[in-house]
C-alpha cells in the first residue's frame, strides 16, 4: 500500500475548529489515512470525514493513539503520532473514515522515568484523555472494572437542540439553593420514580422542587468518578466512594447517573434535566472538584494525568512525593499554566455545552496555592475565572478552606465575583440556636449579612448562608444527636467532625417521647426561619424539608444505602414541616428587604437595626439569648417594607416589645415557630410574648 494517497475532497469547516481542512496529501499509518490535525483543539473532535485527536505532554518522547472496539480490552489499532505531527509539546492527528459509533480510544505515552523528579512515564499504561468528553470502562454503578479493562473515551458529537432557551439569570440575592446528591435523591424505592438514582429520576421530581419553592439546584459531583475507589465491606455492608469527590474525568458526566448506562456519550440525559430545570426557572450549579483527582498518591491508581505529565498536573515535594492539601492523596497544581488552561477549558465547556449556571468549588483555597503549595495574593486562576467572558453570568461559589489548614472565609480572593460558603454562619448560628452563652452578638451579625466579614458595599451577596450541607448532620439529626455515630463507616467513629454544635433535646437518637419530638420539630423550624430571614444567599440540604435522617452519621461519604438516600415516606409523615419550609420560602421571596439593602431604610428607620427585649440596642452581652433584628427599606411604587425577626434561644418565655411604628402602620405577626401551622395575625400594640426556644417574625402593614 502506498504511503501517500490522493488528496481528499475539500470539507466544510467544523464550527468547533479554528480553520478548514486544506487539500494536502494524506499519510497512512497501519492502514489508516491520517494527516496533521488541529493543534489548538484539545481532545477528540468529530469532523466531516474523520476524527481529530489532540493531546499534549511536556515531558513525553512519543505518543501512541490506541483504538478499541466497544467493550474490548485490547486495541485493534495502534497509531503512533509521527514526529512531524508534533508542534511544540502538542501531538495532533486527524484519522479519516472512523465511525464514532464503533470505537473507543486511549493513549500510550513514553518518556523518562525519574520518580525523584516527578517523571513517571510508563509506556505500558493505557491512558485516558484528560479532555475526554465521555468515559467508558466502568459504566454501571458498583461494578468493578473487568480484569484487563481500562478507562477509555468515546468521541462526542454534540447535537443537542437547546432551541431559544435562555439562562434564568436569577440575581444572587434572590437565590434559594438546594444541595442534593443525584443518586441519593431518588434511589430509595420510596421516591416512586421510574428511573431511581439517575438524572432522569431527578427530572421526575422537578415539579416537587418547584412546589417547594427552591430556584437553584447544587448537584454534588456529577463528573465521571470512581465509586469503587476504596470499596470495602464493613459488618456485611458494602461501602463505596459514594459522594463522588474523586474525579476521573473533568469533561464527562458520570455514566452511572444515566437511566441507560450502556451509553451516555452525548450527555443528553443531563442536558434534558438542565433544560427542564430552566423551563421552571431553576438554575443548575455543579459542585466541582479541581483540588485533586482519583489517581491519589504514590500508592494510588495510574490512568491519566500521571502518565501525561505527573510533575505538571500535581503539586510535588522536592523528593517527588505528592503534597496532600486535599486530604485525598494528591493536589492539583492549579496555577501551573497547563492545569490553569485545562480548568478554564473545562468550565467553559460545561457552560457552553451543558448550559450550567454556576459552580461550587470544593476546597477552593487550593485553587489559590502556588506550585510550592503557598497561598497566593492574586491567584491567576481565580482571577481568570472572575473575568472570563464566557463565565461572565456564571455564579462562582467557593468553599473557602482546604485540608491543609488554609481558612479564607471573608478573605477569599474575590474581585467582587466570588461568593463563599460561610462556615462562620453555620457555626455561630448553630451555637446560638442551641442556647450557648455569648452568641447573641454573632447571631445578629450573621442574620444581617455578616457585615463584620464581608464589605456590604463591595461584597453584599458574598455570603452563602447554610446550617446543613452534605458534609455533617442533616437538620433533623442536628437536634437528635449530641455526638456523631459513624461506626458504620469502619473507622471506629474517628472520622467526621467532632465540633457539630448539635443538641439532642434530651435524648440521644430517635425517641417516642412526644415532648422531645415537639421540641425537635420546633428547633428545626427555628433554624429554617432564621435562615430564610438572613441577608445573604440561603442554602439547605435536600430532605431537610421533611426531616430526613442519616441516623447520626455526619460523614456519610461511603454510605450508598438508606443512610444517605432520601426516605420519601417521611414527606407524608412530616407534611407540616414541608409546609413550613414552603411558607418561609414564599415569605422570603415576598419581602425584598430580607434579601438586600433597599436604599437607606424606611419611615425613619435604618436599613438594619438590633433590638433586645426592649427596642433599639447597639450590641448584646454574653448572657443575652434574645436577638431582635429589624430590616427596613422602601421600594419604588411599592412603598416601605419593614420586617422584625425575634429569636429566643433561652429555655424560658420572654416578654418583649417591638419598635414604635408611624401612626399609619401597625405590626402583624407572620411567623411563630411555637406553632406547627403559620398564618398572619394582627398585633395589639407593640408588646408580645415569645415562647422558649422559638422564633417570631413580624411585618409592618
Query: Which are the catalytic amino acids?
Result: 362, 399
Instruction: Assign 650 to helix, strand or coil.
Output: coil
Burial (CB < 10 A; 0-12, 13-18, 19+), residue 632, is: buried
CB 463 within 8 A of CB 536: yes
User: CA distances (Å), 84 to each of 42, 55, 80, 308, in order?
Assistant: 18, 15, 11, 20
The region, left, alpha or beta by phi > 0 then psi within -120 to 50, assigned to residue 600 is left
- In this structure, the chain runs to a length of 701
CB 412 within 8 A of CB 302: no
Distance CA 428, CA 596 (A): 21
Distance CA 624, CA 617 (A): 12
Distance CA 646, CA 427 (A): 20
Count of Cβ atoms closer than 10 Å to residue 76 Cβ: 10
CB 57 within 8 A of CB 102: no
Give the pairing type, strands 395-398 and 418-421: parallel
CB 229 within 8 A of CB 558: no
**Under 8 Å CB-to-CB from 318, ≥6 apart: which residues?**
none
Nearest residue to 435 (alpha-carbon basis) of 696, 697, 693: 693
Distance CA 448, CA 655 (A): 23
Distance CA 555, CA 608 (A): 37
Place of cell 401612626: 663
DSSP characters for 162-204?
-TT-------GGG--EEEE-HHHHH-SGGG--SSTTSHHHHHT
Q: Which three cell numbers stand for residue 444?
A: 445578629
- Residue 109 β-bridge partners: 63
> b vs e for 500-529, b when ≥16 Cβ sit within 10 Å of the residue's Cβ?
bbbbbbebeeeeeeeebeebbbbbbbbbbb
- Residue 316 β-bridge partners: 322
- Residue 86 β-bridge partners: 91
Backbone angles phi, psi at 83, to 5 degrees: -55, -35
CB 218 within 8 A of CB 287: yes
Give the largest CA-CA distance in the chain.
98
Backbone angles phi, psi at 531, to 5 degrees: -60, -45
User: CA distances (Å), 224 to each of 215, 289, 484, 696, in order?
Assistant: 26, 11, 30, 45
Distance CA 245, CA 53 (A): 28
Count of Cβ atoms closer than 10 Å to residue 114 Cβ: 13
Place of cell 494527516: 35
Task: Report which secondary-structure segment, H or E, holds 518.
Answer: helix 514-532
Q: Which three cell numbers stand for residue 70?
A: 466497544
CB 553 within 8 A of CB 488: yes
Q: Which three cell numbers stand for residue 209?
A: 422542587
Q: What's the distance, CA 27 to chain centroid? A: 46
Amino acid at each position: 500500500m502506498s504511503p501517500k494517497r490522493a488528496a481528499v475532497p475539500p470539507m466544510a469547516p467544523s464550527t468547533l475548529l479554528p480553520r478548514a481542512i486544506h487539500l494536502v496529501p494524506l499519510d497512512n499509518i497501519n492502514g489508516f489515512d491520517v494527516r496533521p490535525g488541529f493543534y489548538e483543539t484539545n481532545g477528540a473532535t468529530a469532523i466531516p470525514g474523520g476524527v481529530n485527536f489532540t493531546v499534549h505532554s511536556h515531558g513525553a518522547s512519543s505518543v501512541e493513539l490506541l483504538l478499541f472496539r466497544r467493550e474490548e480490552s485490547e486495541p485493534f489499532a495502534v497509531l503512533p503520532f509521527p514526529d512531524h505531527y508534533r508542534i511544540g509539546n502538542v501531538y495532533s492527528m486527524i484519522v479519516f473514515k472512523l465511525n464514532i459509533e464503533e470505537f473507543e480510544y486511549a493513549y500510550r505515552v513514553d518518556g523518562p522515568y525519574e520518580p525523584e523528579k516527578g517523571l513517571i512515564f510508563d509506556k505500558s499504561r493505557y491512558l485516558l484523555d484528560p479532555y475526554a468528553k465521555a468515559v467508558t470502562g466502568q459504566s454501571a454503578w458498583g461494578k468493578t472494572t473487568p480484569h484487563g479493562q481500562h478507562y477509555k473515551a468515546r468521541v462526542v458529537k454534540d447535537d443537542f437542540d437547546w432551541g431559544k432557551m435562555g439562562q434564568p439569570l436569577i440575581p444572587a440575592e434572590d437565590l434559594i439553593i438546594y444541595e442534593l446528591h443525584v443518586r441519593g435523591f431518588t434511589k430509595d424505592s420510596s421516591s416512586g420514580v421510574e428511573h431511581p438514582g439517575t438524572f432522569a429520576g431527578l427530572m421526575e421530581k422537578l415539579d416537587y422542587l418547584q412546589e417547594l419553592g427552591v430556584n437553584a439546584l447544587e448537584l454534588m459531583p456529577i463528573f465521571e468518578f470512581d465509586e469503587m475507589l476504596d470499596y470495602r465491606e464493613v459488618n456485611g455492608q458494602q461501602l463505596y466512594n459514594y459522594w463522588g469527590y474523586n474525579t476521573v474525568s473533568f469533561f464527562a458526566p458520570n455514566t452511572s447517573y444515566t437511566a441507560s448506562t450502556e451509553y451516555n456519550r452525548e450527555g443528553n440525559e443531563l442536558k434534558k434535566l438542565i433544560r427542564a430545570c430552566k423551563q421552571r426557572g431553576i438554575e443548575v450549579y455543579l459542585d466541582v472538584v479541581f483540588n485533586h483527582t482519583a489517581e491519589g498518591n504514590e500508592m494510588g491508581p495510574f490512568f491519566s494525568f500521571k502518565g501525561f505529565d505527573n510533575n505538571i498536573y500535581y503539586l510535588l515535594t522536592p523528593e517527588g512525593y505528592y503534597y496532600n492539601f486535599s486530604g485525598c492523596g494528591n493536589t492539583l497544581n492549579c496555577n501551573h499554566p497547563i492545569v490553569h488552561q485545562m480548568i478554564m477549558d473545562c468550565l467553559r465547556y460545561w457552560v457552553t455545552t451543558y448550559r450550567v449556571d454556576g459552580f461550587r468549588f470544593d476546597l477552593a483555597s487550593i485553587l489559590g496555592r502556588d506550585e510550592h503549595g503557598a497561598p497566593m495574593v492574586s491567584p491567576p486562576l481565580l482571577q481568570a475565572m472572575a473575568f472570563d467572558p464566557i463565565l461572565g453570568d456564571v455564579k462562582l461559589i467557593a468553599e473557602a478552606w482546604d485540608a491543609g489548614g488554609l481558612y479564607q472565609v471573608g478573605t477569599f480572593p474575590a474581585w467582587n465575583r466570588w461568593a463563599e460558603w460561610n462556615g462562620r454562619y453555620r457555626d455561630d448560628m448553630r451555637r446560638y440556636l442551641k442556647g450557648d452563652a455569648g452568641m447573641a452578638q454573632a447571631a445578629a451579625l450573621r442574620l444581617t449579612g455578616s457585615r463584620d466579614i464581608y464589605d456590604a458595599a463591595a461584597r453584599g451577596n458574598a455570603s452563602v448562608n447554610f446550617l446543613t450541607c452534605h458534609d455533617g448532620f442533616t437538620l433533623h439529626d442536628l437536634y437528635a444527636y449530641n455526638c456523631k455515630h459513624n461506626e458504620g463507616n469502619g473507622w471506629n467513629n474517628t472520622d467526621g467532625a467532632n465540633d457539630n454544635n448539635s443538641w439532642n433535646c434530651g435524648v440521644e437518637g430517635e425517641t417516642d417521647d412526644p415532648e422531645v419530638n415537639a421540641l425537635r420539630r420546633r428547633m428545626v423550624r427555628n433554624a429554617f426561619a432564621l435562615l430564610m430571614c438572613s441577608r445573604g444567599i440561603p442554602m439547605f440540604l435536600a430532605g431537610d424539608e421533611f426531616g430526613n435522617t442519616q441516623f447520626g452519621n455526619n460523614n456519610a461519604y461511603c454510605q450508598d444505602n438508606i443512610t444517605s438516600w432520601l426516605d420519601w415516606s417521611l414527606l407524608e409523615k412530616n407534611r407540616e414541616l414541608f409546609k413550613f419550609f414552603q411558607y418561609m420560602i414564599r415569605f422570603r421571596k415576598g419581602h425584598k428587604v430580607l434579601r438586600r439593602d433597599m436604599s437607606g431604610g424606611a419611615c425613619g428607620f435604618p436599613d438594619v437595626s438590633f433590638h433586645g427585649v426592649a427596642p433599639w440596642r447597639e450590641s448584646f452581652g454574653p448572657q443575652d439569648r434574645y436577638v431582635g433584628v429589624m430590616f427596613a427599606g422602601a421600594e419604588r411604587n411599592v412603598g416601605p417594607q419593614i420586617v422584625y425577626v425575634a429569636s429566643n434561644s433561652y429555655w424560658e418565655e420572654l416578654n418583649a416589645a417591638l419598635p414604635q411604628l408611624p401612626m399609619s402602620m401597625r405590626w402583624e405577626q407572620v411567623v411563630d415557630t411555637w406553632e406547627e401551622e403559620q398564618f398572619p395575625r394582627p398585633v395589639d400594640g407593640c408588646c408580645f410574648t415569645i415562647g422558649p426556644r422559638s422564633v417570631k417574625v413580624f411585618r409592618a402593614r
